[in-house]
A and B are shown apart, each in its own frame.
Chain A
């Protein structure tokens, strides 16, 4: 269970150009569900997801995961939580150019230093699961949008996280690929993962595989705005 209590985030605090991206969100997110955060551009979806995923801290308010307060953890512990609990799929994929698909997928596991053979096998199995085994040794810059997306999902799953966070995952995909992706996210839910998605694509938030839609507007839940 993820609990958010009056979470606020301001950028450039104390300056003339200060921006309140999230202005007080209180929310409980159930595990093993596909939750979609929707809302227009600038509504605070991405900022909220980055705080839930321990990529950044709220300016005020509390975020806790299964009773553990995330928002107050020192940087090192925050990283450990991020590494073990969350997997991220970014809007622009954020794969590292010049490396192969396999190397990109293995990358989040490097600091944990698992046995190299095991890690390789795990990465290859994930790539096979997402139909990417033939592309394992290709450089990521040679991939199509859909392939890069699947490579990014494999990378997000390499450390077997409980929660997958995807930011606008269909932004660079056509409709067929978008539907395929939604199917994949549903499969992850079936495997017991919690899936949090930020999207303003109706194909995503109107999908039958989505358990809950949270609408944001101007940094607040739409119902509070």
Chain B
């Protein structure tokens, strides 16, 4: 064992000196390789952290949202449905929600207007004429607490709301375009019927009962559709997965270019390198020794690129808020959330990235070297 380790040390020593002897070639390769790992790892880390963030936020959302449907489209929910639901075993609370979207032509952005649900932890229902807004709206409209926000209502009347508070920065991913206001203000602003809600939410304490409750709701109110929290989580997952896939496809060409570059650089042995292999064999190195030495050369290069690329990606995503990918991965809205993802590293993801970057490179370099290394070394005599 000691002999084996010492032998590897000699081979690594030689590989390091071989890398240092052709600095131009290897630095160029290291740079491109690091860039590819950096981009792939950035997308992976960022999407993963978005998923996690969304899951954390949704963890506090209600278990079931009940929407009324008409002709397959979302319709307003009659308030009397709250009574028609009656008492279902397992449901700990139920209430109607008021929320909607408003397009602000001044900044060409959509806001989400919402009446805080009862017992809302952060701010409760704002007083008449007051609003609580997300950081995105505040940034875009240049608002601070105490300022007034003027909007034109559904009937064309001007409405001025006083900013009573700003939503906390930590929830910006989901609250950047959010505007909280009182129920009366909401109804007046949108000319929303007094006997209607946007939807109804139900809280179910035991997660195992959620599906059963949803079934009962479908039977009791056939024109409604229950949306479960787990379904929303799945949708988020799919959306982020889809966006991640989209970026990967865009990056596919670049990765392919890298593979060709790496193959050419690493596998295409120069005359000098072929001669060097011949010399090593003629002075007593076995084919296996040459292959092991070249394996170490590839492994040192690819591992360095992998760790450098991954660390840079980590810094890019968690310290610079993934500045390069924000527009694609966070959303399509005008109000980009400004948020810092929570640092999080997934072992399986690291292993996947490692497998798809380090492994192919190492194999790509070994095959042509093997072809050279198995030839008789007498060529160096000529």
Mark A residues whose CB is within 8 Å of B.
46-47, 49-50, 55-57, 75-76, 79-80, 82-84, 88, 90-91, 94, 96-99, 103, 107-108, 110-111, 113, 115-116, 155-156, 159, 167
Contacts and interface: CB of A to CB of B under 8 A. Distances in A.
A44 B377 CA distance: 17
18 contacts: A55-B377, A56-B378, A75-B286, A76-B288, A82-B282, A83-B283, A88-B282, A94-B279, A96-B276, A98-B21, A110-B10, A111-B7, A111-B284, A111-B289, A113-B3, A113-B7, A155-B283, A167-B381
A163 to B, nearest CB: 13
A56 B377 CA distance: 7
Contacts, number: 85
B21 A57 contact: no
A111 B17 CA distance: 16
A156 to B, nearest CB: 8
Interface string B329-356: 0000000000000000000000000000
B380 interface: yes
A90 B378 CA distance: 11
A125 B11 CA distance: 23
Contacts of A98: 17, 20-21
B280 interface: yes
A56 B288 CA distance: 17
B147 interface: no
| B interface SS class | helix
Nearest to B286: A79
B288 to A, nearest CB: 8
A49 B377 CA distance: 13
A83 B284 contact: yes
B108 interface: no
- 8 smallest CB-CB distances across A and B, nearest first, come from A83-B284, A98-B21, A113-B7, A56-B378, A50-B378, A55-B378, A110-B10, A113-B6
Given A50-B381, A98-B21, A113-B7, A79 B281 contact: yes
Nearest to A103: B17
Given A107-B283, A110-B11, A113-B6, A75 B374 contact: yes
Given A79-B287, A110-B10, A116-B10, 10 more contacts: A46-B381, A75-B374, A84-B284, A90-B381, A96-B276, A111-B285, A113-B3, A113-B9, A116-B9, A167-B381
A56 to B, nearest CB: 4
Interface in B4-63: 4, 6-7, 9-11, 14, 17, 20-21
Nearest to B17: A99
A118 to B, nearest CB: 11
A84 B380 CA distance: 19
Contacts of B272: 97
Q: Which of B9, B21, B380 has the most CB of A within 10 A?
A: B380
B376 interface: yes
Contact of B285 (A57, A79, A99, A116): A79
Contacts of A97: 21, 272
A108 B287 CA distance: 13
